[in-house]
Amino acid sequence: MAATSKVKRIGILTGGGDCPGLNAVIRGVTKPAQDYGMSVYGIIDGFEGFVEGRAKELKNSDVSGILARGGTILGSSNKGDPYHWPMLKDGKIEIVNKAETAIKNYEA
């Protein structure tokens, strides 16, 4: 990153299932980032939300009081690989590449 460029937005995605400490990480990123004037977006339901374009801007009120909560306030999903994405087509599951969709959502 060049010295003149500044991070303005951070995205947080919790994928691969719940594990202890995810909410602490979400809070630990969100609060200081906002202190530095950055926006933080939580990707809802892991890579499924990433491919489907589901995200929300996280505010301090979203992350206050979440340290004792289990799991992740953002959710996660069993679909975890945009390159091998299961889609229902004509009553059958077909594996498709949704990486380009995920990249477009990232850029948005």
Kindly report, residue by residue over 80-108, the tens digit of the pLDDT: 789 999 989 999 999 999 999 999 998 88
Find all residues with CB under 8 Å of 85, minimum gap 6, and list them: 51, 79, 95, 96, 97, 98
Domain ranges in the chain?
A: 9-107
Element (H, E) at 11: strand 9-13
pLDDT in tens, 45-89: 999 999 999 999 999 999 999 988 888 899 988 777 899 999 899
pLDDT in tens, 1-27: 455 568 799 999 988 766 778 999 999
> How far is the C-alpha of 8 from the C-alpha of 75, rounded, in Å?
24
For domain 9-107, which CATH number applies: 3.90.550.10, 3.40.50.800, 3.40.50.450, 1.50.10.10?
3.40.50.450
